[in-house]
Copies of this chain bind each other. A is one copy, B any other.
Amino acid sequence: MTIEEQIKKINSSLATKGYKLTGQRDATLRVLLENEKDHLSAEEIFLLVRKKFPKIGIATVYRVLELLTELHIVEKMNFGDGVVRYDLRSDEHEHMHHHMICNQCGEVREIKEDWLQMLEKRLEKEFGFTVTDHRLDFIGSFHSCDSHSCKHSGKAAVS
């Protein structure tokens, strides 16, 4: 699905609940869609959105992110560096993507398969617990980061 198509679809979701796709919301959404893999913080999102929409205030960005969280379009995540990051849940892999977090270079790479269906059935049976969502992160390191100096941007290492 192209970004335009995704925007269009999200616009429908907004409309259903009586919300409008304003310029600020559109710009924020584009930043999220264009940086899907980056798990940006509110501050980072704000700085990027401001390039598209200079007069936006950070309060608006927070309000947009809260709105998108409500609609389950993004999800708040915390990778241990103390900052809230926003993770886009695009249709293709909603409810089924996991993370590998490298503690050498800080990269957060996504795994776009759902590895947990079996386990979720087990929770249902053994605990009477119905799963509606899950979160799975692996912390460790890529061999390519261990062996030679890592090419990825040196974000803060995790824990």
Contact = CB atoms under 8 A, between A and B. Distances in A.
A138 interface: yes
Contacts of A11: none
Taking the full assembly, how many copies of this chain does it contain?
2
B137 A141 contact: no
Contacts of A69: 159
Nearest to A131: B140
Given A76-B80, A80-B76, A144-B128, A133 B123 contact: no
Interface residues of A, number: 35
B137 A135 contact: yes
Interface of A: 69, 75-76, 78, 80, 82, 100, 102-103, 109, 115-116, 119-120, 123, 127-144, 146, 159
